[in-house]
Structure 1
Amino acid sequence: MSDAKTLHHSFNLYITNDDYIFEPTDIDGKPYTDAKRSLSISRHSGDVVLNPLDTPPPQTPDRAITVYGILGIISLSAAEYLIVITSRTPRGRISNQPVYLANDFRLLPIAPPTYHALIDHPVEKHLLALVENHLSTGKFWFSYGWDLTRRLQAQHEDAPKDEGKAMWEMADDRFFWNKYLQSKFIDITTSNPEQDLSSYILPVIYGSFDLRPTRIGRANFHLVLISRRSRYRAGTRYFTRGIDSSGNVGNFNESEQILLVDEEADGVGISPMVEGNTRMSYVQTRGSVPIFWAEVNTLRYKPDLQIMDMAHTLSALKQHLSEQLKLYGTQTLVNLVNQKGHEKPVKDAFEQRIEELKMEGVQYEYFDFHNECKHMRWDRIGILIDRLEESLVNGGYFHQTIASAEPLKTQTATVRTNCMDCLDRTNVVQSALAKWMLTRQLRAVGVLDEKSALEDYAEFMNDFRGMWADHADYVSKAYSGTGALKTDFTRTGKRTREGAFQDFCNSAMRYIRNNFFDGERQDAFDLITGTWVPRKGPAASFFIIMDTRPLIVRSMPYALLFSILMIFAGVSLPRSSDYSLFWYNILWLVVLSLSLIYIFAHGIKYVSWPRLNPPVATIFYEGPGFRGSQSGRGLKLPFGLEKVLEKQLARAGQQMQRPLLNQKIEEIEMGTKKE
């Protein structure tokens, strides 16, 4: 890789009245002794220029800060913003290259002076808050010298054609999380060789990275677990289900478990310093059930299930599986969705489409996780592994040594696992498959003999289980907003009452987040990945901060809270008379009850929906397929009951105008589409 394409590790960022100027610095944070081309970005026009070699840094900048990478540039409604990494934490080394977690970011505005007033516009501040929240809650990983976006086998296979390329050119497009943010730098680089910004284009992944030094007996080695989240169809739990027309699925993650060990003449990995002369990896994937389906939030604990029988479902499924076959080889599709109750239609629709497709190289395997493992019998996952053993052995793993140019083994198949969310059940199964394959790998390099099992080494199993449990939490927090369920089994190898209680707490928190907060989280994903691009001028996007719901809808939560306050006041405040509070309490209990009934009857109107790309077509889908109860979409009032409702509300102290109620009843009778 040429010097112009080698990534810089850090910069002095000088902020002047007119420019942001990046001066590359060495590992110690000092300017290089040999000249490096600095970078200037105009604070007014956004022009990006690679300066000549002899350009000195500004003598009297307004400010100077240290940054460790440029995440990119994002354009909002009033201005562009330069996003830089201002804090990093080293979390391990692979091939002697450090891997970092980005801890803190800074957003620097790029706008003409006449636009500065618009930066304080409510729309701009809202969009800016979405970006900042995404950066503060996500886990972003990077390395200056090792490509985190690609698995070991892909790096080896692509090595001949990667010669002379910059890291961004080699990166896996799916997992290059900030590709959209770096589009301006990439366009300049590809259009003008004299302005090659490759040393400033830092690929970042969104996911997890964990490297743990561990041992079995006298053998020392490193165990690494990496999860890479796809930037395509990225988003939150209930707003990115299923597949899109391009074959991308929600919550797609590639998980790679890497074993780094040194093979020596007198043993395997005896030295406490592990160089990783032998590298072995095993890759699994997960992703939402690859058909068109959704769960529509209505404030119920279980949302309304909806399966859209689209004409292009088979085409999208074929695109998805064709890409998996091309990238990973033979596919074993492990489906953990329940065969009874709420989840059954998803299982049936998936199986129907797989049967219709009959694609060569694709094996379908159903495992009724909840039935097989009921009463906390998690050991019964072994039943699934026994059924998959032949395909696991044939698919193998990647095995490479520093002494050989060609790998000793390659992985020719992967297991693609899904449950409904691709979180909790999926985590348990993936960790079990990873342990099974790791046992084979350790036996292959002599760390384990044929009679030994990993469970015989408690210290190692603590590391292994902790790594997979942390990995489960990373993936779950990115998608659902909370840690994973069932991680007590992943951490300890058994189900506990404490773990069950923690699952209850996480489930309750998921309900709250998924119904009342995920709309803005989804908007942030759409902004960062370029799925939605703001039009210039905050007025054009004013709809994203407006509440256009009818007054009666907006008023009900306030009526509910006020009635609770009044009941509490009647019970707790000191009284100055003996007058009975019976009718007082009845009055406010009626208000509370009616408010709750109305809110849950119209639950779909109280969910935090995405504003940038609202899922209108999904919510109001009326084509062929399966639809659940359709609850929470409005009261279906028999003739005359609107008058009773009006009297009850009036008695409860509600000041309502008759025309507004009549309009609301009319809208309910005509259906929710009008809103």
Structure 2
Amino acid sequence: FLYFLVGSNQAQTKHRVLKIDRTEPKDLVIIDDKHVYNHQEVRELLSRLDLGNRTKIGQKGSSGLSRAVSAFGIVGFVRFLEGYYIVLITKRRKMADIGGHSIYKIEDTSMIYIPNDSVRITHPDEARYCQFLFTCFPFSDTYSYDLSHSLQYNLTLLQRPYELWSSAASSAEEEVHTQSKQDSFDIFEDEGLPTQVVYGLQNEPYYKYVWNGKLLERVKDIVHHDWLMYIIHGFCGQSKLLIYGRPVYITLIARRSSKFAGTRFLKRGANCEGDVANEVETEQIVHDASVMSFTAGSYSSYVQVRGSVPLYWSQDISTMMPKPPIRLDQADPYAHVAALHFNQMLQRFGSPIIILNLVKKREKRKHEKILSEELYPAVINLNQFLPPDHWIDYIAWDMARYTKSKLCNVLDRLSMIAENVTGVLRTNCVDCLDRTNTAQFMVGKCALAYQLYALGMIDKPKLQFDTDCVRLFEELYEDHGDTLSLQYGGSQLVHRVKTYRKIAPWTQHSKDIMQTLSRYYSNAFSDADRQDAINLFLQVYQPLESKPHLWELPTDFYLHQRSTMALPQERRSYTLWWSEGTLSYLPVPYDEVTCEDNMRKMKVKRVNRFDESIDIYTEFFKPYELTSFDDTFCIAMTNSAREFMPKTVGVDPSPFTVRKPEETGKSVLGNKSSKEETLLQRKTAASAPPPPSEEAITSTSEDDSEEDRDDDGSVSQRSTPIKLLTESGESARTQERLSFHHRPIFLKWISSLHPPTETFLPPSSSLPRREPVSCFTEDSIYAVCPPQADRDSRDVFESHVMTGQGQMRALCRDDMLMYREYVKNRYM
């Protein structure tokens, strides 16, 4: 009548045990003794439990313990109309590695019913709810890295001085694990060596991007935090850029918001709390993979956001139309919902916040223009209460109209916008899919150039198209866009980067038509079931026998708009629309400053310096496992030299050399067997949902090729107090340069590395100084002068030779300390 859940570390040297009561039909009873067992202790415990649960000969009943399932982690606990289920991760795939921390994609889960059959109370609708929860979502998880926060946030905590945490460290809950003489035999107890202690920080996740927070809510205060695994929904992909053999990892992480989440036509605009539909935070991390750790390595991160227009608006899908009309559901003259949304951004990202609005501005019948006419006055209203240094920048640009011009280059214009961005960019169109993904790619391409420049990999912050580097980055971004489009719109991208470059092959048009039809089918027939699955997984709707079933609700509007069911207890100011303390720390984000509110979210852990929980080497290299080089993730991931560099002799190996399309390595890969191609091709998280032919798709606001045929290719632009694009004549529009006020921001390296002139010279203070550690002379082919080794190197070599001859040197104090801690952690 009990479930025993045994968890261990990767080396299986430390174990914890959870006891789950199965006699309660509708309650969840979990017991965690918080004790850490070694391998021998947990074997003895399970053996005693097995013997104690065996029945006598001739009696019916249990025959002892039996293994139910093996899993990689707990997603959470959920209850519908009967008892509780436990959701376990049964299949995973490694997707990325950041600073030695592995990030996995969840590929399969298992849901196990907890109550025993003898106490089970059945309900006829239970099976239907179970089918909803089994809908596949591409989730990502990790054991040791906080995916809900950005890299900047995670590393900022470690840079704070120890004095700030000294009071918390003295009252830390977890002290160094010491065993008494009665518990174990310590062969080093007479050495008198001190125990080396380090302090670490454990912060709370950012629950806006955590998707299983509600599933863990019942147990997070009962069980040890090692049992809790917070997962995100979105995308994770990583590729390796080889620069003359030097590995540089480019990682793309997309975090989809769990607030106001749903499918395309069923979730538009914002809710009463300022959460917008299809809100995704995309972070690109570039780091030199030659050095693994965060403390000694070189890391760079850039974040941008996409999300629906923060207004009360929706589209009527009661009629079968490819483009349902846009309607404003509620008047908001004081921009209250927009204020709530941008207050969240100021707290998380600081200032300035830059809006790139890509919706259409000139239409024969007003459709998308309705949103621009409402968003622009809302930003004007909010800015009049902010200091000028922290104004919200607003850029309105009709990208779809500009694309139709034969004389204008869309990507050049996006590059101009990206060059002037000095903060976090928030991009939106109507769906935040095709146009938004291309715009984010161009901004990310510009940021990638500055990241490589700051790492000392290139001499100018410029990257050209048709280079191995940009092709690798473009493929990564298209996988990112396909995945996000499948989650929200039901299909892959309709318009890609090649479409806007106008170099897409003629076969791409037929694929676009199929994606459009698939998207339309998905929105019409399957979006409602997907929305129900999301509401059930996020526990927005919790089944009760006294309430209507989920599939019986005419709308889920009241589930996401909480203010409609109760009067607000606190009315926010329309003028002081930001949270207390946010404005005083700008441009630094409030979430990253050292204040009492943020200090309460941290827990200080006191652990042994050699403890496996902080041993990056053991976690990454896994010395306790027998592995093959061909199966390692760093070799199997997408590689610029293997997949993009031409295979002909005499080719420049630089990934920054412009190549012709027929020179790429992709054509060579096409001749390989399907097994080799599967090994070499990553396809990251885009393979999570079923193909578009099985799961349907949309086409409306993103498919702009059928509209405005009588309009020319120029774009009307207006000048506003918020630095809109300036209105100019027809001849000046194609050559217009954008002008923004450059302000100091928290990511200082972007503005400091951007001089006002067109010539980019790397400042000596910003580039890491890489000096050779050895000097080699220009020897002839007949005689070689060996380099001189320093004294330390000779000592190491002599010690190695003497050890091989049986003459070991005396162990010093540090050696004894290290060996003692290794033996205690491994075997005691």
Q: Shorter-chain-normalised TM-score: which range?
A: 0.5 to 0.7
- Shift of residue 498 of structure 1? 2.7
Give distance in 2, aligned partners of 1:615 and 1:430: 30
Contact 1:519 1:609 in 2 (8 A): no
- Shift of residue 466 of structure 1? 0.7
Distance 1:115 1:423, change over 3 A: farther
Q: What letter matches 1:25 in structure 2?
A: S
Deviations 1:451-476 (A, max 9, x none): 8634363x222211110000001111
Give distance in 1, aligned partners of 2:552 and 2:418: 53
2:140 is equivalent to residue 118 of structure 1: no
419-428 or 62-71: bigger deviation: 62-71
Give distance in 1, aligned partners of 2:408 and 2:524: 30
2:211 is equivalent to residue 177 of structure 1: yes
- Shift of residue 528 of structure 1? 1.4
1:368 paired residue number: 398
Compute the TM-score of the two structures, normalised by the length of structure 2: 0.56
Contact 1:73 1:81 in 2 (8 A): yes
1:657 paired residue number: none
1:567 paired residue number: none
Give distance in 2, aligned partners of 1:466 and 1:378: 24
Q: What letter matches 2:436 in structure 1?
A: T
Cα RMSD after superposing both structures:
3.2
Deviations 1:137-159 (A, max 9, x none): x1111111111111111112334
Deviations 1:556-580 (A, max 9, x none): xxxxxxxxxxxxxxxxxxxxxxxxx
Contact 2:261 2:534 in 1 (8 A): yes
Q: What letter matches 1:343 in structure 2?
A: E
2:2 is equivalent to residue 37 of structure 1: no
Deviations 1:409-458 (A, max 9, x none): xxxx200000001111000000000001111222233322228634363x
Q: What letter matches 2:104 in structure 1?
A: Y
Q: What letter matches 2:132 in structure 1?
A: L
1:421 paired residue number: 431
Distance 1:447 1:611, change over 3 A: closer
Q: What letter matches 1:80 in structure 2?
A: Y
Contact 2:419 2:446 in 1 (8 A): no
Contact 1:140 1:206 in 2 (8 A): yes
Deviations 1:545-564 (A, max 9, x none): 569xxxxxxxxxxxxxxxxx
Give distance in 1, aligned partners of 2:294 and 2:496: 29
Distance 1:272 1:616, change over 3 A: closer
Distance 1:69 1:512, change over 3 A: same
Contact 2:449 2:461 in 1 (8 A): no
Contact 1:222 1:274 in 2 (8 A): no
**Equivalent of 1:99 in 103, 106, 118:** 103
**Equivalent of 1:518 in 494, 510, 527:** 527
- Shift of residue 533 of structure 1? 1.3
* Structure in which a larger fraction of residues adopt helix: 1
2:346 paired residue number: 325
Secondary structure, in 3 states, of the residue corresponding to 1:92? strand
Give the alignment of 1:257-656 within 5 angstroms: 257-261=284-288, 277-297=297-317, 298-311=319-332, 314-329=335-350, 330-339=352-361, 340=363, 341=365, 342-358=367-383, 360=386, 361-374=391-404, 379-387=409-417, 389-390=419-420, 392=421, 395=422, 413-450=423-460, 453-455=463-465, 457=467, 459-487=468-496, 489=498, 494-535=503-544, 537=545, 540-541=546-547, 543-544=549-550, 613=559
**Equivalent of 1:200 in 227, 232, 246:** 227
2:82 paired residue number: 78
Distance 1:142 1:276, change over 3 A: farther
Contact 1:251 1:286 in 2 (8 A): yes
Contact 1:88 1:102 in 2 (8 A): yes
Q: What letter matches 1:27 in structure 2?
A: Q
- Shift of residue 293 of structure 1? 0.2
Give distance in 2, aligned partners of 1:225 and 1:490: 22
Deviations 1:384-432 (A, max 9, x none): 4424533x2xx2xxxxxxxxxxxxxxxxx20000000111100000000
Give distance in 2, aligned partners of 1:41 and 1:482: 41
Give distance in 1, aligned partners of 2:558 and 2:325: 22
- Shift of residue 499 of structure 1? 2.7
Distance 1:221 1:487, change over 3 A: same
417-426 or 338-347: bigger deviation: 338-347
Distance 1:78 1:235, change over 3 A: same
2:30 is equivalent to residue 48 of structure 1: yes
2:134 is equivalent to residue 132 of structure 1: yes
Deviations 1:234-265 (A, max 9, x none): 11111111111111111111000110116xxx
Secondary structure, in 3 states, of the residue corresponding to 1:381? helix
- Shift of residue 167 of structure 1? 8.9
Give distance in 1, aligned partners of 2:399 and 2:500: 19
Deviations 1:72-95 (A, max 9, x none): 011212222111101111122111
Give distance in 1, aligned partners of 2:269 and 2:557: 20
Could you tell me which runs of 5 or more consecutive residues in structure 1 were left unpaired when the two chains were aligned: 1-17, 189-195, 263-268, 396-412, 548-607, 619-675
Contact 2:236 2:253 in 1 (8 A): yes
Give distance in 2, aligned partners of 1:216 and 1:116: 61
Contact 1:91 1:211 in 2 (8 A): yes
Secondary structure, in 3 states, of the residue corresponding to 2:315? strand
Give distance in 1, aligned partners of 2:34 and 2:455: 52
Q: What letter matches 1:478 in structure 2?
A: Q
- Shift of residue 201 of structure 1? 0.4
Give distance in 1, aligned partners of 2:74 and 2:358: 40
1:575 paired residue number: none
Give distance in 1, aligned partners of 2:406 and 2:67: 59
464-473 or 352-361: bigger deviation: 352-361
Give distance in 2, aligned partners of 1:347 and 1:293: 12
Give distance in 2, aligned partners of 1:104 and 1:167: 31
Contact 2:306 2:428 in 1 (8 A): yes
Could you tell me which runs of 5 or more consecutive residues in structure 2 were left unpaired when the two chains were aligned: 36-40, 51-63, 174-199, 565-828
489-498 or 220-229: bigger deviation: 489-498
Contact 1:76 1:534 in 2 (8 A): yes
Contact 1:87 1:105 in 2 (8 A): yes
Contact 1:95 1:276 in 2 (8 A): no
Contact 1:473 1:484 in 2 (8 A): yes
* Structure in which a larger fraction of residues adopt strand: 1
Distance 1:493 1:221, change over 3 A: farther
Contact 2:353 2:393 in 1 (8 A): yes
Contact 1:428 1:490 in 2 (8 A): no
Give distance in 2, aligned partners of 1:27 and 1:451: 42
Contact 2:252 2:285 in 1 (8 A): yes
2:280 paired residue number: 253
Q: What letter matches 2:215 in structure 1?
A: L
Sequence identity (%):
24
Secondary structure, in 3 states, of the residue corresponding to 2:528? helix
Deviations 1:333-380 (A, max 9, x none): 010111124211112111222223225320110010011122588842
Distance 1:112 1:310, change over 3 A: farther
Give distance in 2, aligned partners of 1:173 and 1:167: 18
Secondary structure, in 3 states, of the residue corresponding to 2:154? helix
1:244 paired residue number: 271
Distance 1:546 1:320, change over 3 A: closer
Secondary structure, in 3 states, of the residue corresponding to 2:286? strand
Q: What letter matches 1:422 in structure 2?
A: C
Contact 1:141 1:209 in 2 (8 A): yes
Q: What letter matches 1:223 in structure 2?
A: I
Secondary structure, in 3 states, of the residue corresponding to 1:443? helix
Give distance in 1, aligned partners of 2:149 and 2:293: 25
60-69 or 304-313: bigger deviation: 304-313
